[in-house]
Structure 1
């Protein structure tokens, strides 16, 4: 029997922060992905709000900078509606912060700028979630200076020594990742150029970061595949369960 390919929309803020390692996984798992350029596209369009999955990607701006970037308010409204309806949503870095804001939590500048490869510590819930492959301390890419409080009714999945909230789940269909599990080491040269001013201001050596990326590349693609494939599979099983319940 023919199975309909599901639709996903990725909200992108800057061209080089795209789906990365997640793109081939989505293709393999039967998803049609289209991109929406968050700063300029119509975020109220039904193709975005009603997509089977919304993925909100990263970007070098703050959730609280709505005066400078008014489209942020429209993103928050979009996320408020999707999360209230329990629609599948994935947020990465800025996307996670936007999800937290849409759920009523505070988003603010953190005390430490995290840029580079590091591990996260999973909570008990995290160990029982799709993030379990990261329990061995596998490296993930951090690239943020902002953080957020854990939203009401959200479940903390991961933290580290700098920030208590590195990942959370909201219900069974929403996942927020402060770190970049999707980052493809082969594409990070674009990040080094796109974030050149930030790297210089933070006195981070591109040479050192590149060397760490070479080491991380040996494992991160496999771990991203395991985490995202598991999460997408859980979404599929949840969708099937919802259809069964409605049929009764």
Structure 2
């Protein structure tokens, strides 16, 4: 004689409950919450007090590098045609989809006083400010041509002792640069060969340099761009 145990009426009901109950989203796995997640925090690269995260650039006979009055001062090189600079030692810098901002002034001299070398994907560019005798501002180098020779070069006067606000925005489709509130460069890097001059290669991955000039830099910040900002840059670059 075979004995069949009757099924419990609870089992089907429990199975139905498990199948129809929503599983909470694990924030660590992403999901809908990602769309409203705050953007990554800006990276403050200089606190106005110490050179943590920086080292003097290995130029030939550079001037003294010091922190004075909340700024990094790049002293005048004693060598003819000499350069002074600082280079970041951080390993967490973004290579695209970011905005670099800083303030700089020429203390003495008449050439570039805070040329900024920065990453662009797998390569680098330098925003020269006041080069070639004091006024040329633009990106070096594009297709082997310096800022004085390529389409990004422009002329701008800089007064010694005056602070200027610089901003560089980098995406795969666009590089834009500002001095104070004036946009001075808009450039689509796709299809071009990018690279720095040999001298400023010592500032990679991120750094600043002077040429026969003393300069000061402060308020150095990198801000990752939001997906919306990246999309807007791409759309603007592709608009006729």
TM class by shorter-chain length? under 0.3
In proportion to residue count, which structure has more strand?
Answer: 2
Q: TM-score, normalised by structure 1?
A: 0.27
Q: TM-score, normalised by structure 2?
A: 0.27
In proportion to residue count, which structure has more helix?
Answer: 1
Q: Which has the larger radius of gyration?
A: 2
